[in-house]
Amino acid sequence: MNKQRGSSSIFFILVILLISILIVGSAFYFKKVKEDTKVNILKQTNASQSSKNINITDDNSAFRSTRTQYSMVSIEPDYSCEKDDDCEVKNFTSCCGYNPSCANKNTLITHPDVVQKRCQELGVSSTCGFIEVKGCKCIDKKCANF
Residues 32-65 pLDDT 10s: 655 555 444 444 444 443 333 444 444 444 444 4
What domain range is 11 assigned to?
A: 1-49
Residues 36 and 60 in one domain: no
The pLDDT value recorded for residue 87 is 97
Cα dist from 115 to 55, 60, 92, 93, 123, whole Å? 9, 17, 10, 7, 12
Say if residue 41 is in the same domain as residue 64. no
Mean pLDDT is highest, among 17-21, 27-31, 62-66, 123-127, for 17-21
Alpha carbon distances (Å) from 46 to 83, 119, 137: 37, 17, 35
CA nearest neighbour of 94 among 135, 127, 61: 127
Name 70's bridge partners: 56
Could you tell me if 108 and 77 lie in one domain?
yes
- Entry pTM: 0.46
Do 74 and 39 fall within a single domain? no
> Helix, strand, or coil here: 122?
helix
Is residue 20 domain-shared with residue 79, that is, in the same domain? Answer: no
Number of domains in the chain: 2
Assess whether 59 and 31 both reside in one domain.
no
